[in-house]
């Protein structure tokens, strides 16, 4: 079946603009994760959903970052008033079950550049 998909793959924004990044998890996957990967670094956790419930948002760097998954499938990460330090690759991952040892499958990422 299809893997995790993300759109857009690349996004250039002017400082102060709002952006929305989309993640389509593998069909039927319960858990969905967002990670931020700065250049030359490992991914860092942002937030986690079990179905439509956002169970952990401890990694969101500021209140400008907001994520939702209203119907328990597609998720959107929104960044308001983008800053240059928001430039990074945003990775989405999904896993089949929650509270389990299931593997997380990653999407190709959205590369965000804020000018």
Residues that bind other proteins (CB under 8 A): 3, 31, 33, 35, 40-45, 48, 55-56, 59, 89, 91, 93, 95, 98-101, 103-109, 111
Q: Residue 104 and residue 115: Cα distance in Å, rounded?
A: 32
Q: Give the shortest CB-15-to-other proteins separation in angstroms.
A: 24
Q: Give the shortest CB-82-to-other proteins separation in angstroms.
A: 20
Q: Residue 8 and residue 6: Cα distance in Å, rounded?
A: 6
Contact status, residue 46 vs residue 55, Cβ threshold 8 Å:
no
CB nearer other proteins, residue 66 or residue 105: 105
SS3 85: helix
């Amino acid at each position: 079946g299809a893997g995790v998909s993300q759109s857009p793959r690349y996004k250039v924004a002017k400082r102060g603009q709002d952006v929305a990044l989309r993640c389509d998890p593998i069909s039927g996957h319960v858990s969905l994760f967002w990670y931020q990967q700065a250049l030359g670094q490992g991914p860092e956790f942002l937030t986690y959903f079990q179905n439509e419930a956002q169970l952990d948002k401890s990694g969101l760097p500021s209140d400008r970052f907001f994520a939702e998954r209203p119907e328990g499938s597609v998720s959107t990460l929104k960044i308001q008033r983008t800053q240059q330090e928001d430039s990074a690759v945003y990775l989405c991952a999904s896993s089949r079950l929650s509270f389990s040892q299931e593997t997380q499958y990653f999407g190709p990422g959205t590369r965000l550049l804020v000018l």
